[in-house]
């Protein structure tokens, strides 16, 4: 069951659904114009958000931004024909590659078998589209490089491509007056390589960009809004593990024991997983030195 909440007076979001991989959808409501953040993983995902907002007296969006090309953020775009769609140039290029693909069970299974699709997405697509797999991939109308700023009337949004390991085309939305940074999936690992991974350089480059925004609330699309302090803790963990990965050349045991020594406690499950992803990233770039 999805719910909608507001943060401040200009921003609404709908909670995610992990089973079908529905991400959080956002809506920035200006005095003159409305910007939707991400189109959802299906038309029904996009439309339920609009319906719930209509009940709160909020009109349909004038613009919709796609944060990156992954299916769960773009398959709903065909339901948003009245909105002007926007993405980075790179996102549009990646979506173009999806246009010729079939999304039947057979086609998905075949792509998973040959390694061009991952089981995680294939199974979520099958769960989201159980009856009608009427997927109509739509390309965004307007594309940009680096960043653009939108004045929606009383509220300004900066749409900036930040990249990162999860998707090189990742764009974040900074809602200036509300000090909200919509991160989408950008700080997650790369899930499209044979082994899920973080890289040292990718992580540092991304965090350097994210830390230039003065935000109080951060939104992770498959999680929940987090505070500035929680974001700082997450960023510190990623930086520390990146440093140790470099120092110990991807040696899992040495990275873990040094991190435990610094923290003065055993690693949490999340930290263990993060170390594994960094080790995978190191091996991907430099080979297995363990």
| Spatial distance between the Cα atoms of 271 and 267, rounded to a whole number of angstroms | 6
User: 45 or 70: whose CB is closer to Zn ion?
Assistant: 70
Short-list 24, 28, 162, 22, CA closest to 88: 162
Structure tokens at 268: 């949490």
Give me the least distance between CB of 289 and Zn ion, in Å please.
30
Q: How far apart are alpha carbons 19 and 168 in whole angstroms?
A: 25
Residues 99-135 as b/e (b if ≥16 CB within 10 A, e otherwise) read eeeebeeeebeebbeeeebbeebbebbbebbeeeeeb
Is there a contact between 172 and 183 (Cβ–Cβ < 8 Å)? yes
Judged by the rule CB under 5 A, the positions of this chain that interact with Zn ion are: 70, 185
CB of 246 to Zn ion, least distance (A): 26
Nearer to Zn ion, 83 or 121 (CB): 121
DSSP 37: E
Nearer to Zn ion by Cβ, of 190 and 276: the residue is 190
Residue number with CB closer to Zn ion (22 or 70): 70
The nearest distance, CB 168 to Zn ion, in angstroms, is: 11
Q: How far is the CB of 209 from Zn ion (least distance, A)?
A: 17
What are 231-235's contacts with CB under 8 Å, separation 24+? 234/187, 235/207, 235/210, 235/211
**Cβ closer to Zn ion: 178 or 190?**
190
State in angstroms the smallest separation of the CB of 95 from Zn ion.
13
């Amino acid at each position: 069951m999805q719910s909608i909440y507001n943060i401040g007076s200009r921003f609404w979001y709908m909670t995610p659904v992990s089973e079908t991989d529905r991400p959080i959808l956002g809506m920035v409501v200006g005095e003159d114009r409305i910007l939707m953040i991400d189109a959802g993983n299906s038309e029904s995902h996009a439309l339920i958000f609009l319906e719930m907002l209509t009940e709160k007296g909020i009109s349909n969006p004038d613009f919709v931004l796609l944060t990156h090309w992954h299916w769960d953020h773009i398959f709903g775009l065909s339901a948003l024909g009245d909105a002007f769609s926007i993405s980075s140039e790179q996102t549009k290029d990646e979506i173009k590659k999806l246009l010729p693909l079939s999304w039947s069970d057979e086609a998905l299974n075949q792509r998973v078998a040959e390694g061009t699709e991952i089981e995680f997405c294939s199974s979520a697509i099958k769960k989201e589209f159980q009856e009608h797999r009427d997927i109509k991939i739509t390309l965004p109308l307007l594309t940009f490089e680096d960043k653009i700023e939108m004045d929606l009337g009383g509220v300004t949004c900066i749409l900036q491509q930040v990249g990162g390991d999860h998707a090189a085309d990742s764009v974040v939305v900074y809602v200036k007056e509300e000090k909200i940074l919509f991160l989408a999936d950008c700080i997650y690992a790369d899930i499209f390589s044979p082994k899920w991974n973080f890289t040292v350089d990718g992580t540092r480059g991304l965090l350097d960009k994210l830390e230039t925004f003065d935000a109080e609330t951060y939104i992770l699309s498959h999680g929940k809004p987090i505070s500035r302090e929680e974001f700082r803790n997450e960023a510190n963990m990623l930086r520390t593990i990146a440093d140790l990965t470099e120092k110990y050349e991807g040696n899992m045991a040495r990275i873990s024991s040094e991190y435990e020594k610094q923290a003065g406690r055993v690693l949490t499950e999340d930290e263990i997983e993060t170390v594994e992803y960094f080790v995978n990233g190191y091996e991907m770039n430099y080979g297995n030195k363990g």
